[in-house]
Structure 1
Amino acid sequence: MTNATCRRPAVAALLAALLVPPAAPTGAAETKPTPVGPLRPLVRSVDVTVTNIDVVVTDSKGNRVTGLRKEDFEVVEDGAKQPVTNFYAVEGGALTVIGDEPVPPAPTPVPMAPPASPPAEAPASAQKTWIVIFVDNLNLTPFNRNRILKNVQGWVRGSVKGNVEAMVVTWDRSLKVRRKFTNDGRDVADVLGQLEEVSALRVATLSERKDLLQAIDDSVSEEQAVGKARQYALSLKNDLEFTLDALRSTINQLAGIEGRKILLHVSEGLPQSPGAELWKYIQDRFRSMSTPTQGFEFDRTTGYIGIVQAANAAGVTIYGIDASGLTVDSGVTAESRATTARVDSFVERTNLQSMISLLSEETGGQAILNKNDVTLALKEIEKDYTSYYSIGYRSLRPGVDRPHKVEVTVKRKGLKARARRSYLEKSPETRVQEATISALYFPRDDNPLAVGVEIGTPVPADRQNYIVPMTIRVPYARITLLPEGAKARGRLIFYFMVLDAAGKTSDLATQPAPIEVDAAKLESLARKDYVYDVKLVMIPGGQRISLAVRDEVTNTVSYQQRSIFISALGPESRGSKAR
C-alpha cells in the first residue's frame, strides 16, 4: 500500500550547491536558506563514547603474538588509565575472541548427511580493510619506482581479495585516481604495472640540484651561494606543501568509511627541511658555522604533524616505503665528482626518512626503509591487518571535537604493542559530515530511516545554472518524536554535498528541520511520510549528490547517493540512483 504523505508547511529553502573551482568561483549568486530560529535541545543527554584502538602485538623477534586477553593490556589516555571494556581478537582475518569468550568455529560438515537443523554460521570475519596505494611520482625516480612497484604488484595479487580492497592514486602535482577500490588483486596489479609508462619527476629535481651544486662551487661568496640555495629550497618547499595537501585530501576522503584503513605511501623520501643538505654543503665549501641555521627556516615538521592528526582522526594507518632502497654515499657518486665539497649523505638521508618514520609510527604503522626488495615487509603489513587486537574503553564525553594522546602497552614482559598514538574525539555532527563527504567517492547505502529520494526535472535558473528539485521522504514511524504536553517534537538534519565530473565539490550544506505535531495524531501519522522539499542550484553536466539524514534525538543516520546528468541543451535530463 502506498503511504500517505504529510508535507512540511514551511517553504523549502533553496540550497546553493555550486560546483566551481575553488580559485575561480563562477555561477549564480547563492540564495540564502530560510532563516531558522534558535533550536533549543530536545533532550538533555550525556554521550557515552567507546573509543576503539587497533593494536598489533609482537615479541622481541617481531613475531605476532596471539592468545592475549583484555587483562593483558593497559590503556592510558591523556595520562589517565582507562579500564578496557570492549575487546576482540583477530587471527588470520577471522574473529577468535569477543570479550572474554572464544568464537566457536563452524562444525565440520558430514558428507552426504542431510542437516537435521539449519547449518551453523561460519566464524565471524574481521572488519573490512581498505588499502590506498599512493604512488608519489613527484618524489620518485623511474628505476626505483618500477622496482618497488613490482614487489607491490606481486603482493596485491595474493592479498587483495574478499574483504580487502585496494585503490591506486598517483601524485605528480596533480592527484589522480588510477583505480577505485576493488577486491580484484589482479586488476590492481595491472594498474600498477601501467604506471611504468608514467613520468617520475624526481629525476628533474636531482638534475636541478646537480646544477645548483656547481653554481655554489662557482659562487664568490657564501652570501651568493646561500641566495642560490634559497631559491632551490623555496621551490622544494612549495612542492612539499602541495604534496602534503594531496595526502591530507586523500586521508580526509577516507574518514567516513568504516573498517581498517591503510595508506601505503611510495616515495624516495619526504624532506623534513627542504634543501637541508645544501646548507651543510655550503658550510663545508666556505668553512662556515652560520649556514646550517638556514635549515630551521624551512623546517616543515608542523606540516607533517598535521598529516598525523588528520590520519589519526580518520582512522588511517600510514606505511611509508622509501623506494630508494640501499644507496651509495652521495659523496662518491658521479654527481659529486665535479664538485668542490661533498653532499653529506647522513644529513640527506635523515632529512628524507625522518618524516616517513614519523607519519608511520604515530599512526600505528611502520616505515619500510633501506630495502631494495620490500616483499617481506609487505607481508608484515598483511599480518598487521589480519592478526591484531581491538581494544575499547568507555568515557563520558562533552560531544566536541578534541584531540587526545593515547598509549597502549602490554603487561607481559618482552612484548611490544604498536598502535596509533593519538586520536580525535568526534561529535556525532562531525562523523555524519565526514561520512557524507566520503560517500561521494565510496558509495554508502545505510538506510535505517527508510529515506526515499525523488529528483525532479532540472530547470534553468540563469545562463549558467540549473535548479534541481529534490523531494526527500522519511516515514514518521522511523522518526523519534518526544511528547511535550499536547505536542510531540523531533528534529531531522539534512546534509547535502555534490561532486561534478571534473572532481570539483560543493561546500557541505546542512539544513535542520524541526518537527512538531499534535500528540493525539501520532498514531494516524504512523502510516505517513514526512516530506522535505529542497532545491539545489547546479551547473550542467554529470553530478553526484550525497545526502545524509540524521534523527537528532537518536543520532540514527541514513545515507543516500544519486547521480544526475544535467543537459545544457534541454530539459531531458533525469536523476538516477547511483550505483
Structure 2
Amino acid sequence: MKCRTCLASLSLALSFMVSLLVAATPVTAQLQTEPGAGVIQETVDVEVVNIDVHVTDRRGAPVAGLELSNFQVFENGERVEPVNFYEVVREDPDANAPIWLVLYFDQHNLLSANRDRALAELEVDLPTVLEDRRVRIMVAAHDQEPRVVQNFTRDWGAIRGALNGLRGQQTVGDQRDGLRQSAQLSVTDIFHRMRSRDRLDRQNAGLAIDALLGEMRTYAREVYNDSEASFEALGNFVRTLAWLEGRKALVFVSDGVAERPLGTLMEHVQDLLTGGASDAGALVERAGGGQAGGTPGTGGVFDRDASMEVGRLQQEVEQFHVTGTVQAIVAEANTYGVTLFAAKPPPGDAATSARRSRGRGALMEVSDRREALHNLAEGTGGFGRTGGGSLTGVLAQAVGGMQSYYSLGLSSANKVEGEFTSIEVRVRGVRGASADYRRSYVKKGVRSRISERALAAAYVGESDNPHRMEVNVDAIMPVEGEDLYDVQMWIEFPISSVELVEIEGVHRSATRLVAAAMDDDDELTAAQHLEVPLEVPVEALADALESHYRAGLRIRLPGGRHRIALGLWDQAARSGSVLTDALTVGG
C-alpha cells in the first residue's frame, strides 16, 4: 500500500456543498471554521486508550473475577489510574463485538514446504475457532506485496478453498533461500576454515580476517534490505485493519525475519579472533615463536588489532538493525488494537535438505531469525510459537485470549499527536499469574484515526456502515487540458444516525466526513476532511430526525478505475462508519 503526496496535478481536490433534506421546518447548516459557543470541544480532545489484559494462571487457564485493585498500570514508568475497568468472559451474552482473525503467510521468508506444513496444522484449529460466532477469518499472503487471498468470512468452504489455493505454490522464500544460503555459506566457510587451523602466519591470518569481515558486511546489507521489505509490508497490512471495530488478531506465519543481522555470528567471531572462547584456538603465530591471538592481554599485537576491527564492524552493522522498525510496528499495531501472534513452522526434510549445500553440512545460523517474531508478539500482547513444535492449537489459543480479558481504560488527554507511550501492567494478589497486554501505543487524534480508517477501507475494499451512508455520482466532468476529471457526488445519511447535543436551545452534531480514493496501482490519495455543520433548533428536532443530511462532494481524479472510500466519525457517540464504492473515471 502506497500513499502519494497530494500534488496539485494529482490531488484529491474536494469541495463540499451541504443541504438538509427536511420536509418542513428549516434547519440551519452554516459552515463554521471554529466551534460555536458551547459546543462540546472536550470530547474531541479527550480520548480513552483501552489496554486489554489477558490473565492466566500457572497452568495457562484464564483467571476470572479480578477487580481493578488487582491491577497496577504504569505509563513511561509512572503509575497511572485507569478511568474505566471491566471484564469480558467467553460466556458473556453481551460480549458480541466481532473477533477479526487474520492468517498472514509471510511467503517472502517462508519455504513452500514449511508453509504447506503450517497450513495442515493450523487448519485443524479452524472448525473449533469458528464455533464462536463472533469470529471472522481472513487469509492473506505476502509475496512481493501483501495481498488478500480471502476476505473476512465465516464460510468454512471459502476459508478452506483459500488455504488450498496456497498449497503447492512456490514462494519468494524458495527463490531467495538459495541466494541467502550462498551468502551465508561464504561467511561460515571462512569462519570454519579459520577455526580448523591450529596456527596461521600473520599474513594468511590477515587475509582470512579481511575476507571474513568483508563477507559479513555484504551479508548484513542483503539481510537488512530483505528484513526492511518484509516489515514494511507487515506494517502496511496492519494499518489496513484500522477500519475494523472489535478485537483483532493477526497470526504471522513465517520462517523468521532477522532483526539484527550477524547478531549470532558476531560473538563467535570476536571469540575466534581474540581467543575469548575455549575452542577458538590460536590464530596467529608470533614472529618470535609462540602464538598471538590467545586470551586477550597476552601481549599479541594482532589480536588487539583484530579486536578493534571487529569493534568497528559491530558499530557499522548497527545501521542494519531493524529494531526501530519492529518497535514502530508494535506501537502502530497497539494503536489500532491489533494483537500479533508469531507461528514458525517446524522444519521438515525438505527444509533441512535446503539448508545443506555441496556436502558441507548444515549451515551455521549467523542471525537470530526468531527474535523479531517474539518481539512483535510479546509487544502487542500475543505470543510466539517458534520452538519447532507443531502449530496445532495456536489459533484456538490466540482466539481464547480474545474471548476472556480485562479492559483498562487510560486517558490520553495529556498526550500530543504522535506521542509514544510505553505501558506496564502488574497483576497483584494472584500467585503465579502472567499477563499478556499491549506494551505501548502512539497517540492518534480523531483526524488521524478517521483518515486511516478511510484509507484502510479503500485498500481492503470493505464497508462498515452503521450510519447508513449513501453515495450517488451526479456528474463526471473532464478538466480542460489535463487527464483529470472532476467527479461530483452526493453523500447523505439519516440525521437520526448521529448523536445531537443540545446547547442553549440548539442541537448540534460533532461529526466529521472524510474522503479518499485508491487506483488500480494501489496508489492512495491523501484523505480530505469536512466538519459537518449540522445545527437543529429544538423546535425542528422532530422533523429533522425523520430527515437526511446531504453533502455535495467534488473529487478531482486522474482517468481510470478507482475505489472511493468515505468515512464518518460521530465524536459525541464515539462511533464511525466507512463506505467504499467502485468508480471508473474517463474512457
| TM bucket normalised to smaller | 0.7 to 0.9
1:560-571 matches, within 5 Å, as 560-566=579-585, 568=587
Q: Which amino acid aligns with 2:34?
A: L
Q: Pick from 157, 163, 169: which aligns with 1:192? A: 163
Q: 2:42 matched to which residue of 1?
A: 46
Aligned counterparts of 1:366 and 1:326: Cα–Cα separation in 2: 23
State yes or no: 1:458 paired with 2:454.
Answer: no
Paired residue for 2:183?
209
Q: Distance in 2 between matches of 1:173 and 1:375?
A: 28
SS of 1:254's partner is: helix
**SS of equivalent residue, structure 1 residue 439:** helix
- Does 1:366 find its partner at 2:383? yes
Alpha-carbon shift at residue 170 of structure 1 (Å)? 1.4
After TM superposition, the structure 1 = structure 2 runs for residues 519-534 of structure 1, keeping only pairs within 5 Å, are 530-534=549-553
Letter in 2 for 1:436: A
Residue aligning to 2:246: 259
Quote the residue 2:300 is aligned against: none
Deviations 1:294-352 (A, max 9, x none): 54342221111111111111111111112245999x9xx7449649xx9655x64xx21
Aligned: 1:181 with 2:143: no
Name the aligned partner's letter for residue 335 of structure 2. Answer: A
Cα pair 2:507 2:535 within 8 Å, conserved: yes
- Letter matched to residue 301 of structure 1: T
Helix, strand or coil for the counterpart of 1:397? Answer: coil
* Other-structure match for 1:311: 333
Q: Tell me, yes or no, if structure 1 residue 271 matches structure 2 residue 290.
A: no
In structure 2, relative to structure 1, the CA distance for the partners of 1:336 and 1:274 (3 Å cut) is farther
CA distance in 1, matches of 2:212, 2:342: 33
SS at match of 1:383: helix
Map Cα deviations across residues 416-457 of structure 1 (whole Å, 9 max, x no partner). Answer: 222112233433333322322333226334344x64432123
CA apart distance, 1:23: 9.9
Does structure 1 residue 397 correspond to structure 2 residue 413? Answer: yes
Change (3 A) 1:522 1:155: closer
Structure 2 residue 276 is the aligned partner of structure 1 residue 302: no
Q: Which residue of 1 aligns with 2:451?
A: 433
Does the 8 Å CA contact 1:428/1:555 hold for their aligned counterparts? no
Q: Give unmatched runs, 5+ long, in structure 2.
A: 17-30, 194-203, 274-282, 284-292, 294-305
Q: Percent identity?
A: 24
Unaligned stretches of 5+ in structure 1?
1-18, 96-122, 569-579
- The answer to whether the aligner puts 1:62 opposite 2:49 as a matched pair is no
Q: CA 1:71 to 1:567, structure 2 compared with 1: closer, same or farther past 3 Å? A: same
Given that 2:567 and 2:577 are in contact with CA atoms closer than 8 Å, whether structure 1 keeps it comes out as yes
Q: Would the alpha carbon gap of residues 515 and 300 (structure 1) be closer, same or farther in structure 2, given more than 3 Å must change?
A: same
Q: Which of 227, 235, 238 is the matching residue for 1:248? A: 235
The equivalent residue for 2:73 is 75
Q: Aligned partners of 1:215 and 1:281: how far apart in 2?
A: 14
Separation in structure 1 between the aligned mates of residue 211 and residue 407 of structure 2, nearest angstrom: 57
**Measured at CA, do residues 481 and 194 of structure 1 come closer, stay the same or move farther in structure 2, by a change above 3 Å?**
closer
8 Å contact 1:154–1:189 — kept in the other structure?
no
Hey, what's the Cα distance between the residues in 2 that align with 1:155 and 1:338? 39
The 3 A distance-change label for structure 1 pair 382 and 271 is same
1:483-525 Cα distance to aligned partner (Å, 9 max, x none): 679x997775320011234433221111345467999988887
CA distance in 2, matches of 1:55, 1:253: 24
TM-score after normalising by structure 2: 0.75
Output aligned runs, 1:334-353, within 5 Å. Answer: 334-335=356-357, 338=360, 344-345=364-365, 348=367, 351-353=368-370
Q: Which residue of 1 aligns with 2:519?
A: 500
Q: 1:326 to 1:563 in 2, by over 3 A?
A: closer
Whole-Å Cα distance in 2 between the matches of residues 482 and 23 of structure 1?
Answer: 39
Q: Is the Cα–Cα contact under 8 Å of residues 482 and 490 in structure 1 kept in the other structure?
A: no
CA distance 1:214–1:83, change in 2 (3 Å): closer
Counterpart CA distance in 2 for 1:132 and 1:430 is 24
Query: Which secondary structure does the structure 2 equivalent of 1:535 belong to?
Result: strand
With over 3 angstroms needed to count, the CA separation of the structure-2 counterparts of 1:124 and 1:527, relative to structure 1, is closer
In 1: Cα distance, 2:410 partner to 2:181 partner:
55
Letter in 1 for 2:186: L
Distance 1:29 1:443 in 2: 23
Change (3 A) 1:31 1:481: same
Aligned residues: 511
Match of 1:322 in 2: 344
Cα shift at 1:26: 10
Aligned residue number for residue 152 of structure 1: 122
1: CA distance, partners of 2:344 / 2:325: 19
Counterpart in the other structure of 1:136? 106
2:401 to 384, 408, 415: 384
Give the Å deviation of 1:357. Answer: 1.0
**Equivalent of 1:473 in 484, 489, 492:** 492
Distance 1:336 1:230, change over 3 A: farther
SS at match of 2:489: strand
* Residues 326, 371 of structure 1: 8 Å contact kept: no
Contact kept? 1:336, 1:343, Cα under 8 Å: no
Taking the aligned partners of 1:275 and 1:262, their CA distance within structure 2 comes to 31
Q: What is the TM-score normalised by the length of structure 1?
A: 0.76
Could you tell me which of 206, 209, 216 is aligned with 1:229?
216
Q: 1:237-269: CA deviations, max 9, x gaps?
A: 112111111011111111221111111111111
Instruction: State how far apart, in whole Å, the 2-side matches of 1:28 and 1:299 are.
Output: 36
Q: Give, in angstroms, the shift of residue 173 of structure 1.
A: 2.4
